Structure formats: structure tokens, C-alpha cells
RNA sequence: GCCGGCGUAGCUCAGUUGGUAGAGCAGCUGAUUUGUAAUCAGCAGGUCAUCAGUUCGAGUCUGUUCGCCGGCUCCA
């Protein structure tokens, strides 16, 4: 019999009979591997374990430890769930059921949405299917036969899917009493799913289009070991504890209430202290980097928004007009028209460019009720906005400069992991295609020169220009767009902006919008989750809590607090008639970075016993030493060590 | 906006088949004077989100509006 040379990931090469399956290879390596094997990677493609290998190939056995293996595992789990659903709800029509970051979902068209009780029933049925330990098998069919088959069964969504596919033969996967159109591959047997849970159900539009029918989606997770499910659920719990809405309440940072209105943030004193630190730092860095800081009002004559075009293409997100003296005014959803009007207040020479105008500008946008989310998605927020007006030749240098500054700012707050996207020209776009190319190239080479990894979102740019978006990931794994650098070919045109070039000719400047933190609100939310409320010292609302062990030391402690305040350290005194343990607990719960414990010994020696949040007693220091110590840490803007989420 | 869930004291939550509302923490008062994560006692605190309906009777059942939560869609 012919032999094939199988190449393993460790570099070794071994001969096998032609037609050997992935499962047989796994078994030849170890019985343990045969048990946990999910799929096989052949020539870089993921295949079923039953796939016969008939030519020399690099082969890897995939288990749940491999990302590709997990996808297969979860995808198969979605099939098992789909079977359970169709057996319990025969009317349910199948849509799609892909694996996602953690687990999977499957969309169904059902008459009645699933209730929590339904999910429990489905789980029970899934358990039975898994207990059957049914094998997955694959069959090819031609396109027309597949369409006829599904049409007969009334599976309209499947018909639509197949019609959109190419003409090559389609594969169907079957297990137990269930079959589904599927590219595969799949796990060998249902029995290797040892633990699973249906997380939630929700509505989801067919193909993500709100004009198409709303389907019912069920999310689930599954694992090859019971312990892994427990670990996942525990991780969810931990992530919940970091939720900025929970911490925001616990630490009294902000509140959002019905009385004021949905999506409108009230910054409580402790949150406001952090915001002040953020904004102070932001202003200092901008002034130190050749920005000018400007201010603009919250409303403007509606004509301004007509000229900018926002009144047309952005009206869905704008609040209604405000009537003042027979004229209509508009609450601002953007800062740009103001900065442009400032630009137009005089003539500019090429010598004046680039202009860099920054503003912490509060804007108001109508967001649909269902999309509001804590601080992450609100209706009134402050953008750390800036507009750069640049001569055409200096565009690329300016972009490199902005990106550099952007990364510097994010790193200062402890963020160094980003998802970066470069979005290019969409179908419908205004402006000279040559300019677009130039701008895209400028953005791209800025990214290249920065050495940051990025991906390109083809055709995802705004109609008025290409952009770079930078996302920061929060504790629960959601990525939030914070920084954005956007080119604008539209507004300079609409407002007929010009500068006088060296040849005396009037030329149109390029305009770049940019926000580094994005919005102060969202950035704060990400910051809270990133640090789980344990802010670095320079941001902490209260940096030091001074704790006398008995009333007789209150006076000395008050002096210590005064001294700290004079040194610009945010300190306060806990003079309640409580035991020291209770005072410490109160400060620990509020995640105050440092506590100064003071009794007779310290009061006599002009010193304090320093306790660090989360660490404990770190020894006695004189007040002078303690001040120097704190100032050094504040100065460094040092990142506080974070307790890792378990399981990470 | 769409699908589902939820809304009880400042906070976290109990509240049985419909029968006049409960705890812990926080707050206030008093006692206690304390050495590294909760001292004790007392007091006060609620139009059960809102409006309407069913009922002899609604926190509990039905509908409305508002808000929140998980998604979809959209975005800083």
C-alpha cells in the first residue's frame, strides 16, 4: 500500500499508510490524544478526524487547547442545540449557528420567543443527545438538490443561504436525527461535549438587517471538561465585579438617573476628581505639544448645521431645534463647525499651518434607547476633540505626528493593547479619488512608521474621508472605540476654507478630526474596568486616608491632612469613633491607595504607619518621608499592579 | 427602534397559591476610645418605577408609559 509522509508540528516526519485518518494518527501518538482530539489540521486546513490523508502533508491534531479546535467544538455544539430546538419546537426554522469568541449561537425563526424555561428544556434535551454519543458524518449534495430539499421542508433561510453560495457541491453534516447544511468540520462524536450551558436568548435580525425578520438567537458555551465550564462561569462573575456600572456605584464615581434622563451622566465628587486629573493632564500635554486650546458654545444657529451638512445627513442623531427670537438654534452633536468658523474668522498663510485646535467639547447626540450602556454609550458626552488644518504637502507628517501623540496619551493612562483599523474609501464618497489615495497612504504610512499592528477595513471609511480607529479592550473582552483620526474632504469644501500659499494662490487646507480618549465618559468607563477601580495614585479620587486609632489623635491627624493638602495630595481624615479595623475596612472598600494609621507612637515621632491598599502595612515613615514617597509615585503616574482575572 | 428579562428603603436583596411590607449594610442618636478589613444599643427610613384595569381586596394578575439589564442594529 502507498505511504504518505506526515509532518508533525514538532518537525518530525513519519510515514503512514495512504488514507490514514486524523483519528488513527491521533491514536498512534497516544490513546489520551485520541480521546481529546477534536479535528485535524491538514495542509493548513481544518478537517474532520475521519478525513483520509492521501498525500504527504503537514498534519496537526487539534484539541480544545487550539483556537481552531475550540471553534469546531462550539460549532458542533450549536448543531446539537439546533437538534434539541427542532425536536422540541418542530416549527423552528434554522438560520445560522456559528462559533463566537466564547461559545456559539444559533438563530431560529420561531412563532414565540424562547423563555428561560424553554432554555432549560432545550438544555435537558441536549444532554440526552450528547448521551447518545452519536457520530457526526458528512455528505455531499449538489446545489439544486439541496435547494429542493430545504424548500420542501420550508427552511427558507437555508434556501436563501444556498442560493447565495457558489456552484460547487455543498456538504451536509448529520448526527443523531439531525442534519444541517454546513461547511464543517465537526467533532467526531456528540459525547465529547462534557459540559455546556445556554447563556441567554435574544432577538437578532436575519443577516443583521433591521428591515428583515427578527429571529430568536440562543447563546451557549460548551467544554470538554466540567471544570472548564465552572471556570468560565466564575470568570463571568469576576468580570461582572469589574463592570464600570457596579464599581461606579460602589465607589460613588457617577450616577445616571431617570430624573435627569437616560444617557446623561452625573459626575459625583469622587468621579469628578478623577475627571479633573484626566482633563488637567490632557490640557498640559496638549499645550506642551503645540496645540492651542479653544472653547465653543453648546448651541449654534441652525444655519451653521445646514451649511456643515449635519442637519441633513446627521439629523437622526440630533435633538430638535430650540427657538430663540424667531431663529432656530441647534444643540451641538459635533464640535467641527465651531472650529471651522474660528478658522474663517481671519485669513491664514501657509506659514501659519498646521493649526492644531483642541477642545474638550461636550456634544449631545440622540441615541436609540436600547443602545445606551453605562458610561460607554451615552447621550451627552465630552469629546477630547481636535482639528488639524494642514497644507497639502504636510499631511503625512502631520498624521504620523498625531498617531505618535495618540499612543503617548493612551500609554500614559496605562493602555498599550489596541485593535487598530484603517478604514478606506466607501462606495459612496465625496472628494477627489486622488486625494483619497493620498490620505489613505498617509494614514497607512503613519501606521507603518509607528510599528503598530493594524488591519484594513476596506470601504468602511466615512463618506467624507478615510480614518484610523483605535479600540481599547475592557475587562469583559468588549473592545471600545476610543481614539479616532479622521480625514475630512467635505467640510473644508462646504465652508470654502482657504489659506494663501507661498505662490500667493488661495489653496484649500486638509482637515483632520481627531479624538484621543474618544469621549471622557467612555474613556472613564474603560479606565474603571481596566483598573477594576484600583486607580493609579495620580488618578485616585482620595489618595490618602488618615486614620487615628483613637479620638485623642484627631488633632495630630488633622495637621497631617493639612500638610498633605498643601503638597497637593488628596487626603482626608476619618475621625469617627470607630475601631481602627472599621476605619481600615471603610478605606479598603473605597480602594483608597494609601492609609496612614496614627496612634501614640506615630504622633510622638511626627510619623505615620503606612498601609497600602490590597497589600497591608508597609511600615512607619516620617511625614516628610511619606510625602516624598507619595509624590514620587504620583509623578511617575505609575501603573498600579492589577489582580488578574482568574483564568486569564 | 426591535426581541426577551427586570424595576420593593440610599445600597444589596427577601416577600409563599392575591389578604394591610421585611433583613443586612449605609444614615441618625447614645454608649464605647479602640493598633491594621465590620464595637454595642436604640431610632428613623417605602404612594412596592408610573398610570390605568381585573378583584371585596393587587408588591403579587393584565395593559400603558418611563427606566435598567442581555442581545440585534448603530456609534465616541
pLDDT per position as a tens digit, A475-497: 656 678 899 999 998 899 999 99
User: d(Cα A184, Cα A166) in Å, to the nearest integer?
Assistant: 16
Scanning residues 465 through 524 of protein chain A, those with a beta carbon under 7 Å from any atom of strand B turn out to be 469, 481-482, 484, 515, 518-519, 521-522
Catalytic (active site) residue A387: yes
A642 confidence band (pLDDT: 50, 70, 90): very low
- Residue-wise DSSP of A487-556: EESSHHHHTT--EE-TTS-EEPPEEEEEEEEEEHHHHHHHHHHHHTT---TTT-SS-EEEEESSGGGHHH
User: d(Cα A544, Cα A591) in Å, to the nearest integer?
Assistant: 10
Q: Is the CB of A252 under 7 A from strand B?
A: no
Catalytic (active site) residue A175: no
Q: How many CA atoms lie within 13 A of A240 on its CB side?
A: 6
Is pLDDT above 50 for A640? no
Is pLDDT above 80 for A635? yes
User: d(Cα A238, Cα A396) in Å, to the nearest integer?
Assistant: 44
Is pLDDT above 60 for A209? yes
A639 confidence band (pLDDT: 50, 70, 90): low
Average pLDDT over every residue of A87-108 = 93
Chain centroid offset of residue A514 CA: 19
CA-to-CA dists, residue A628 to A58, A569, A622, A623, A634, angstroms: 61, 11, 10, 9, 10
User: d(Cα A25, Cα A116) in Å, to the nearest integer?
Assistant: 43
Angle between helices A269-288 and A520-531 (to 10 degrees): 110
Is pLDDT above 90 for A591? yes
A253 confidence band (pLDDT: 50, 70, 90): very high
User: d(Cα A109, Cα A92) in Å, to the nearest integer?
Assistant: 6
**Protein A4 CA to nucleic acid B59 C1', in Å?**
74
Q: What does the DSSP 8-state code read for residue A367?
A: -
Name which of A193, A196, A169 is nearest A181 in CA terms. Answer: A169
Q: Is the CB of A578 under 7 A from strand B?
A: yes
**Protein A262 CA to nucleic acid B65 C1', in Å?**
15
Is pLDDT above 70 for A240? yes
% of chain A residues with pLDDT over 90: 70
- What confidence score (pLDDT) does residue A235 get? 84
- What confidence score (pLDDT) does residue A169 get? 78
Catalytic (active site) residue A5: no
% of chain A residues with pLDDT over 70: 97
Q: What does the DSSP 8-state code read for residue A260?
A: T
Scanning residues 10 through 39 of protein chain A, those with a beta carbon under 7 Å from any atom of strand B turn out to be none
Name the phi and psi angles at A3, rounded to 5: -120, 155
Is pLDDT above 90 for A116? no
Q: Is the CB of A601 under 7 A from strand B?
A: yes
Per the prediction, chain A carries an average pLDDT of: 91
**Protein A307 CA to nucleic acid B57 C1', in Å?**
63
Catalytic residue among A70, A125, A379, A513: A513
**Protein A141 CA to nucleic acid B68 C1', in Å?**
49
Catalytic residue among A109, A180, A336, A406: A336
CB A509 within 8 A of CB A564: no
Average pLDDT over every residue of A500-527 = 94
Task: Kindly report which amino acid residue has its CA closest to the C1' atom of nucleotide B33.
Answer: A550
User: d(Cα A351, Cα A127) in Å, to the nearest integer?
Assistant: 74
A402 confidence band (pLDDT: 50, 70, 90): very high
State the Rg of chain A over Cα.
Answer: 31
CB A501 within 8 A of CB A350: yes
Is pLDDT above 80 for A614? yes
Is pLDDT above 60 for A648? no
Q: Is the CB of A381 under 7 A from strand B?
A: yes
Average pLDDT over every residue of A161-178 = 87
User: d(Cα A47, Cα A21) in Å, to the nearest integer?
Assistant: 10
Is pLDDT above 50 for A298? yes
Catalytic (active site) residue A298: no
Chain centroid offset of residue A461 CA: 19
Angle made by CA atoms A575, A578, A580, in degrees to the nearest 5:
90
User: d(Cα A605, Cα A621) in Å, to the nearest integer?
Assistant: 9
Give the pairing of strands A355-364 and A380-390.
antiparallel
Q: Is the CB of A600 under 7 A from strand B?
A: yes
Paired with A548 in beta bridges are: A598
Q: Which nucleotide is nearest to A114 (CA to C1')?
A: B4
Is pLDDT above 70 for A118? yes
Q: Which nucleotides of B are covered by protein (CB under 7 A)?
A: 1-5, 7, 11-12, 31-39, 66-76
pLDDT 10s digits, A381-400: 999 999 999 998 898 889 98
User: d(Cα A638, Cα A125) in Å, to the nearest integer?
Assistant: 53
Is pLDDT above 90 for A369? no
Q: Is the CB of A379 under 7 A from strand B?
A: yes
Task: Kindly report which amino acid residue has its CA closest to the C1' atom of nucleotide B1.
Answer: A368
First-to-last alpha carbon distance for chain A, in angstroms, is: 48
Catalytic (active site) residue A513: yes
The string over A153-188, giving b where at least 16 C-beta atoms fall within 10 Å of a residue's C-beta and e elsewhere, is eebbbbbebbeeeeeeebbbbbbbebbbbbebbbbb
A239 confidence band (pLDDT: 50, 70, 90): confident
Average pLDDT over every residue of A137-154 = 89
User: d(Cα A522, Cα A376) in Å, to the nearest integer?
Assistant: 4
Is pLDDT above 80 for A515? yes
User: Is residue A580 within a helix (H) or strand (E), and if so which, with residue range?
Assistant: helix A580-589
User: d(Cα A50, Cα A305) in Å, to the nearest integer?
Assistant: 63
Average pLDDT over every residue of A441-470 = 88
Is pLDDT above 80 for A412? yes
- What confidence score (pLDDT) does residue A391 get? 93
Catalytic residue among A286, A302, A379, A387: A387
Angle between helices A116-132 and A67-88 (to 10 degrees): 110
Give the pairing of strands A3-7 and A57-62.
parallel
- What confidence score (pLDDT) does residue A475 get? 60
Task: Provide CB contacts within 8 A for A282, sequence distance 6+.
Answer: A360, A384, A409, A517
A646 confidence band (pLDDT: 50, 70, 90): very low
Q: Is the CB of A378 under 7 A from strand B?
A: yes
Catalytic residue among A365, A514, A545, A621: A365
Is pLDDT above 90 for A581? yes
Chain centroid offset of residue A271 CA: 22
Is pLDDT above 70 for A1? no
**Protein A335 CA to nucleic acid B9 C1', in Å?**
43
Average pLDDT over every residue of A271-279 = 96
Average pLDDT over every residue of A571-578 = 94
Scanning residues 383 through 402 of protein chain A, those with a beta carbon under 7 Å from any atom of strand B turn out to be 383
Q: Which nucleotide is nearest to A216 (CA to C1')?
A: B3
Scanning residues 106 through 165 of protein chain A, those with a beta carbon under 7 Å from any atom of strand B turn out to be 113, 115-116
**Protein A216 CA to nucleic acid B4 C1', in Å?**
9
User: d(Cα A171, Cα A320) in Å, to the nearest integer?
Assistant: 54
Q: Is the CB of A369 under 7 A from strand B?
A: yes
CA-to-CA dists, residue A289 to A382, A496, A516, A539, A603, angstroms: 21, 28, 14, 22, 46
Catalytic (active site) residue A32: no
A647 confidence band (pLDDT: 50, 70, 90): very low
Q: Is A637 exposed, middle or buried (0-12, 13-18, 19+ CB in 10 A)?
A: middle
Name which of A179, A201, A41, A225 is nearest A115 in CA terms. Answer: A201
Q: Is the CB of A377 under 7 A from strand B?
A: yes
Q: Which nucleotide is nearest to A619 (CA to C1')?
A: B36
User: d(Cα A220, Cα A103) in Å, to the nearest integer?
Assistant: 6
Under the phi-then-psi rule, with left for phi > 0, alpha for psi from -120 to 50, and beta for the rest, what region is A135?
Answer: beta
Q: Is the ipTM of this complex over 0.90?
A: yes
Name the phi and psi angles at A169, rounded to 5: -60, 150
**Protein A263 CA to nucleic acid B7 C1', in Å?**
18
Q: Which nucleotide is nearest to A554 (CA to C1')?
A: B33
**Protein A564 CA to nucleic acid B74 C1', in Å?**
47
- What confidence score (pLDDT) does residue A259 get? 79
Catalytic (active site) residue A365: yes
- What confidence score (pLDDT) does residue A623 get? 97
Q: Is the CB of A410 under 7 A from strand B?
A: no
Is pLDDT above 60 for A644? no
Is pLDDT above 80 for A512? yes
Amino acid at each position: 500500500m502507498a505511504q504518505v509522509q506526515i509532518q508533525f508540528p514538532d518537525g518530525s516526519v513519519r510515514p503512514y499508510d495512504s488514507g490514514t485518518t486524523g483519528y488513527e494518527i491521533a491514536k498512534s501518538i497516544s490513546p489520551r490524544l485520541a480521546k481529546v482530539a477534536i479535528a485535524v489540521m491538514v495542509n493548513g486546513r481544518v478537517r474532520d478526524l475521519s478525513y483520509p490523508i492521501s498525500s504527504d502533508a503537514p498534519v496537526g491534531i487539534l484539541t480544545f487547547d487550539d483556537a481552531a479546535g475550540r471553534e469546531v467544538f462550539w460549532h458542533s455544539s450549536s448543531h446539537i442545540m439546533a437538534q434539541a430546538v427542532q425536536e422540541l419546537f418542530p416549527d423552528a426554522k434554522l438560520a445560522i449557528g456559528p462559533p463566537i469568541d466564547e461559545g456559539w449561537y444559533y438563530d431560529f425563526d420561531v412563532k414565540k420567543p424562547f423563555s428561560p424555561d424553554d432554555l432549560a428544556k432545550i438544555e435537558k434535551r441536549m444532554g440526552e443527545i450528547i448521551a447518545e454519543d452519536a457520530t457526526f458524518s458528512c455528505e455531499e449534495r449538489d446545489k439544486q438538490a439541496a435547494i429542493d430539499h430545504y424548500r420542501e421542508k420550508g427552511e427558507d433561510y437555508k434556501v436563501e443561504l444556498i442560493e447565495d453560495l457558489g456552484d460547487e457541491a455543498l456538504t451536509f453534516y448529520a448526527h443523531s436525527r439531525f442534519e444541517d447544511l454546513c461547511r464543517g468540520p465537526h467533532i467526531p462524536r456528540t459525547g465529547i461535549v462534557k459540559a455546556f450551558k445556554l447563556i441567554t436568548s435574544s432577538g437578532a435580525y436575519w443577516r443583521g438587517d433591521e428591515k428583515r425578520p427578527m429571529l430568536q438567537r440562543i447563546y451557549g458555551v460548551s467544554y470538554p471538561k466540567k471544570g472548564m465550564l465552572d471556570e468560565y462561569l466564575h470568570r463571568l462573575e469576576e468580570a461582572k465585579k469589574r463592570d464600570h456600572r457596579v464599581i461606579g456605584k460602589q465607589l460613588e464615581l457617577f450616577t445616571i438617573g431617570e430624573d435627569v434622563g437616560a444617557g446623561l451622566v452625573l459626575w459625583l465628587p469622587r468621579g469628578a476628581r478623577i475627571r479633573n486629573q484626566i482633563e488637567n493632564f490632557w490640557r498640559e500635554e496638549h499645550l506642551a505639544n503645540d496645540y492651542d486650546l479653544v472653547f465653543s458654545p453648546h448651541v449654534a444657529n441652525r444655519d451653521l448645521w445646514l451649511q456643515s451638512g449635519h442637519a441633513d445627513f446627521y439629523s437622526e442623531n440630533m435633538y430638535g431645534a430650540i427657538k430663540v427670537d424667531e431663529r432656530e438654534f441647534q444643540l451641538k452633536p459635533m464640535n467641527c463647525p465651531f472650529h471651522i468658523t474660528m478658522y474663517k474668522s481671519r485669513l491664514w498663510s501657509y506659514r501659519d499651518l498646521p493649526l492644531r485646535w483642541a477642545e474638550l467639547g461636550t456634544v449631545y447626540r440622540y441615541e436609540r434607547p436600547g443602545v445606551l450602556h453605562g458610561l460607554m454609550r451615552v447621550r451627552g458626552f465630552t469629546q477630547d476633540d481636535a482639528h488639524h488644518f494642514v497644507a497639502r504637502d504636510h499631511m503625512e507628517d502631520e498624521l504620523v505626528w498625531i498617531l505618535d501623540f495618540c499612543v503617548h496619551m493612551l500609554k500614559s493612562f496605562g493602555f498599550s493593547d489596541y485593535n487598530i483599523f484603517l478604514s478606506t474609501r466607501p462606495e459612496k464618497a465625496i472628494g477627489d479619488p486622488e486625494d483619497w489615495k493620498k490620505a489613505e497612504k498617509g494614514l497607512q504610512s503613519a501606521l507603518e512608521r509607528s510599528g503598530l499592528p493594524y488591519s484594513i477595513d476596506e470601504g468602511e471609511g466615512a463618506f467624507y474621508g478615510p480614518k484610523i480607529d483605535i479600540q481599547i479592550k475592557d475587562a469583559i473582552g468588549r473592545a471600545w472605540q476610543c481614539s479616532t483620526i479622521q480625514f475630512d474632504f467635505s467640510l473644508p469644501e462646504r465652508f470654502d476654507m482657504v489659506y494663501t500659499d507661498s505662490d500667493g494662490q488661495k489653496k484649500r487646507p486638509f482637515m483632520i478630526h481627531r479624538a484621543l480618549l474618544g469621549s471622557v465618559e467612555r474613556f472613564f468607563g474603560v479606565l474603571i474596568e481596566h483598573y477594576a477601580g484600583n486607580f493609579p495614585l495620580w488618578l485616585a479620587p482620595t489618595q490618602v486616608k488618615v486614620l487615628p486609632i483613637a479620638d485623642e489623635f484627631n488633632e495630630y491627624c488633622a495637621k497631617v491632612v493639612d500638610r498633605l493638602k498643601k503638597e497637593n495630595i488628596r487626603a482626608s481624615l476619618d475621625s469617627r469613633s470607630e475601631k481602627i479595623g472599621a476605619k481600615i475596612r471603610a478605606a479598603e472598600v473605597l480602594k483608597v491607595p494609601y492609609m496612614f494609621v496614627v496612634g501614640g507612637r506615630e504622633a510622638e515621632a511626627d510619623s505615620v504607619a503606612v498601609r497600602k491598599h490590597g497589600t497591608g502595612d508597609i511600615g512607619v515613615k516620617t511625614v516628610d518621608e511619606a510625602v516624598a514617597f507619595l509624590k514620587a509615585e504620583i509623578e511617575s503616574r505609575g501603573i498600579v499592579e492589577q489582580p488578574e482575572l482568574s483564568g486569564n
